Structure 1
Amino acid sequence: MPKHFLMCRPDFFTVEYAINPWMDPAAGADREVAIRQWESLKTAYEELGHQVSLIDPVEGLPDMVFAANGALVVGGGVYGARFTFPERAAEGPAYLNWFAERGYRTQEASYVNEGEGDFLTLDEVILAGSGFRSTHEAHREAQEFLGRPVVSLTLVDPRFYHLDTALFPLDGRNIAYYPGAFTKGSQAVLRHMFPDAVLAGADDAEVLGLNAVSDGTHVVINAEAGGLQLELKHRGYQVIPVELSELRKAGGGPKCCTLEIRA
């Protein structure tokens, strides 16, 4: 089934502060290259038949391109983001207002969470990350608002500071993930829930290969994640490699740029 995605063009993208291990203000990033790479990602979605809506970028919010962090949308309900760092704080209201203006049922968050960066939705459950950004209180608040069970997982490697850097849903019932990003207890939970999951190695995780988007048939994935691409093809998925090297300088990949709107 076609999906509906919200994206934000990186017109003001830059790396001018460091709030994760990927960011180096001294090295910076090339905005024009980032825009071209982002446009290629948007085109890939559209060529697969998915709908892409756009939110206007806001000057002074260079990370607003990472739309996934802006909210969690399930069943037409929108649970807003409340960012950890002040540099991104204004993004939460900007995204929530976009949805409110279009008639969605919205909930302003009382607790720190970073939207689909740390909430990944399957058919029956929402997987939720904590350890670096989103809090357990936000997990409970999202569950109450959305009426969907939320399973908390703990991240331990600062390179994988959001759940969507270490795990992505393949479809509504299975996932791919990098075990090394999680505590032993969370690894055990994932093994129990997803015994047939695709396990990624460190090499693919370290190029944000798990920051991918799957529609159940096609997987849009960072081009450098070669081993993971081969395993996905072996499982029968059609792989769509994309190049997002400039956005990765801020810790982002395909999923970071993509907020799914689930009506």
Structure 2
Amino acid sequence: MKRTPQAQPLFLMCEPRHFTVDYEINPWMHTAHPVNRPRAAREFGALVRLYTQLGARVEFIRPRQNLPDMVFTANGAVVRGGTALISNFRYLERRPETALFASWFRAHGFRVKRMPEGTRLEGQGEAFFTNGHMFAGYGFRANRAGHRVLEKTFHLPVVSLRLIDPRFYHLDISFCPLRDGAVLYYPGAYDGASRAKIKRCAARAIPVTRTEALSFVCNSVPMGHVLVTGGVPSAGTRRALRALGYAVRHTPLGEFKKSGGGARCLTLSLNS
């Protein structure tokens, strides 16, 4: 694949053609609450259009029947500098995605790395590059052994954060890196030691409330001077974001929240 200049965000997404809630592997998922697929398609289309209006280029991986969560491409790999570290999923329901993501990355010219047996990591859902290091979550879907693979693959130190609330089963539901090393985060998702690490390692740590976190305000995608979100930031959070130079663009993603995902979950950055 011809490399896109860093100034233009490059995303990998997957159309929700087969998106359903057929099983329950996180507290948001309830098979009794079915997905409205036409509405999901409209929400997804609006997100893609917003990205392209803001200057992003969007690539797509083909959706597969019986893999409804493949729509959450952020979980497929950690990507940096042309290298894709393919995820090792905890749950059996998602493990067939691994070979499909590996195949896509190989076909598009990336160096593909695989996780060793016994290590767990679920892509950019658990790992963010910022300020010369990586923040990485563990506790529900990833383990510390997976963090060691991250360090070895990308040659950057990892700040390991322990998640303690199953509603925030991936790091990206309670943590959002912003410009200049600042982060949005929900303190209640972490143990005390991890909260201290965030405050120490982030250039600025902006806490959000429980209500904001449950609206998935941290599961957002910063793009230049815009923060794309399906969540609902408070007036105080909007002021903090404005002070950093961000305008908030809200786009509804309620159908995807039924499976525990938002804007960031649906979006794998290929040139982070």
TM class by shorter chain equals over 0.9
* SS of corresponding position for 2:179: coil
Match of residue 246, structure 2, among 222, 237, 240? 237
Superposed counterparts of 1:21-36, under 5 Å:
21-36=27-42
Is 2:215 aligned against 1:191?
Answer: no
Q: Which residue of 2 aligns with 1:100?
A: 106
- Mapped to 1, the partners of 2:243 and 2:207 lie a distance apart of 13
Q: Which residue of 2 aligns with 1:207?
A: 215
Is 2:25 aligned against 1:16?
Answer: no
- Mapped to 1, the partners of 2:230 and 2:240 lie a distance apart of 14
- Mapped to 1, the partners of 2:174 and 2:89 lie a distance apart of 19
The amino acid across from 1:171 in the alignment is R
Contact 1:122 1:169 in 2 (8 A): yes
Match of residue 163, structure 1, among 160, 168, 171? 171
Q: CA deviation at 1:207?
A: 1.1
Q: Which moved more, 1:59-68 or 1:114-123?
A: 114-123
Counting aligned pairs with the same residue, the percent is 37
Match of residue 250, structure 1, among 259, 262, 265? 259
The amino acid across from 1:156 in the alignment is I
Q: Which runs of 5+ in 2 are unaligned?
A: 1-6
Match of residue 109, structure 1, among 100, 107, 115? 115
- Mapped to 2, the partners of 1:50 and 1:11 lie a distance apart of 22
Q: Which residue of 1 aligns with 2:230?
A: 222
Match of residue 133, structure 1, among 113, 130, 141? 141
Match of residue 71, structure 1, among 69, 77, 92? 77
Is 2:72 aligned against 1:60?
Answer: no
Q: Which runs of 5+ in 1 are unaligned?
A: none
Q: Which residue of 2 aligns with 1:176?
A: 184
1:174-227 Cα distance to aligned partner (Å, 9 max, x none)? 211111110000000111112522211111001111100112411001143344
1:230-257 Cα distance to aligned partner (Å, 9 max, x none)? 5423443111101000000000000000
The amino acid across from 1:12 in the alignment is H
Structure 1 residues 12 and 230: CA distance shift in structure 2, 3 A: farther
Q: Which moved more, 1:80-89 or 1:146-155?
A: 146-155
Q: CA deviation at 1:98?
A: 0.4
- Mapped to 2, the partners of 1:74 and 1:171 lie a distance apart of 17
Q: Which residue of 2 aligns with 1:6?
A: 12
The amino acid across from 1:58 in the alignment is R
Tell me the number of residue pairs that the alignment of Structure 1 and Structure 2 aligns. Answer: 263
Q: Which residue of 2 aligns with 1:37?
A: 43
Q: Which residue of 2 aligns with 1:143?
A: 151
Q: TM-score, normalised by structure 2?
A: 0.93
